[in-house]
Copies of this chain bind each other. A is one copy, B any other.
Amino acid sequence: MIPVVTSAHDHLLVRACRRQPVERTPVWFMRQAGRSLPEYRAARGSGSILEAIADPALAAELTLQPVRRYGVDAAILFSDIVVPLHAVGFGIDVVPGRGPVVAEPFTSAADLRRLGEFSPGEHAPYVAEAARLVVAELAGDVPLIGFAGAPFTVASYLVEGGPSRTFAKVKSLMHTDPPLWDALAARLADMATASLVAQVEAGAAVVQLFDSWAGCLSPADYARFALPATRAVVAHVATLGVPVIVFGVGTGELLGLMATSGAHVVGVDWRVPLDEARRRVGPGVAVQGNLDPAICVAPWEAVAASAREVLAQAGGAPGHIFNLGHGVLPETDPAVLCALVELVREESRPGAAAT
């Protein structure tokens, strides 16, 4: 059978990002490639995540597994927000069960010298290579989402030295030495931009900027210290003609500011009902979300009821991408995600029975 090759750039997901008419709500899941899938655990083996990312064939396989299993409307490149930093030799690793850990955290202007310019083709050619393999395999049926960390969230690891609950060091740096902070954020914006440009050139039709921990900031701090660098990344990527999704957790008070980043879509966690989220981001920006990932380990009736509430609160398909409010939990049963995809496909078509 000869596959019908359509352009991923006209795909349902891309149109939803642009708030154009869609036949139903697109659906994918953050961290859909991950420990919840037995085929992921089998393919990953015992190697580190950064080793898996640096192996284009393996990274492509891990990216494609959830598309095959769930029939989601997007592949998202299997990657990590610290890849560019690792690639330029800053001395950052991802420790299983803990997260990114930095050997010598960023503390002063001297550390800027350790953050050399990131050239994707030279430092991390495997990222674009994996993207090319995925795009070739998907053959235009499903779009690939490119992946990068937003400057604030990446900086939080650099400055804290690892995961943090209080973000006290990174907040202190911002307020103690704003010019140094701005220089660091600009450097990380350049890295994210370069990485996303390479992924788009390799065929990514949408990109998502993960500002996972921005929600720790007050609106005033976010506006002053995080938004400008995010805006720089979005502005550059948007010139390539692909929609940009900006996402973080606990960002209820930041949604309006995030919508001014230039992003086409703002990701929303489960704490903010989507009707309220839409009010905060305004009519010119789409929303993505926002089923509580923890609900997915509850009985199916509870999952279905919550998913229907998300669809109802989104108020119809245009400008809504169904997703979880954060990544899939490792203990999630893949059958539940399959059923969720089915539910969204069936119940988000115009004229489908309302709940």
Contact = CB atoms under 8 A, between A and B. Distances in A.
Interface stretch (A17-25, A54-62, A167-175): A167-175
Interface in A39-82: none
A228 interface: no
Contacts of A176: 298-299, 302
A298 B172 contact: yes
Contact of A168 (B171, B216, B221, B297): B297
Nearest to A296: B168
Given A175-B302, A253-B271, A302-B176, A294 B220 contact: no
A215 B271 contact: yes
Interface in A284-306: 292-295, 297-299, 302
Contacts of A174: 298
Nearest to A222: B271
A219 B269 CA distance: 12
A157 interface: no
Main secondary structure of the interface of A (DSSP, over half): helix
Interface residues of A, number: 35
- Quick one: which of A172, A176, A215 has the most chain B CB within 10 A? A172
A59 to B, nearest CB: 26
Contacts of A292: 171, 218, 221
A273 B254 CA distance: 11
A309 interface: yes
- Quick one: which of A218, A220, A302, A329 has the most chain B CB within 10 A? A218
Nearest to A272: B253
Interface in A133-152: none
B253 A218 contact: no
A298 B175 CA distance: 6
Contacts of A355: none
A295 B295 CA distance: 34
Nearest to A218: B270
A201 interface: no
Interface in A270-326: 270-273, 276, 292-295, 297-299, 302, 309
B215 A295 contact: no
Contacts of A111: none
A239 interface: no
A295 B253 contact: no
Given A215-B250, A217-B271, A253-B271, 8 more contacts: A168-B293, A168-B294, A171-B294, A171-B295, A172-B294, A175-B295, A220-B273, A253-B272
7 contacts: A168-B329, A169-B297, A172-B297, A218-B292, A221-B292, A252-B272, A253-B276
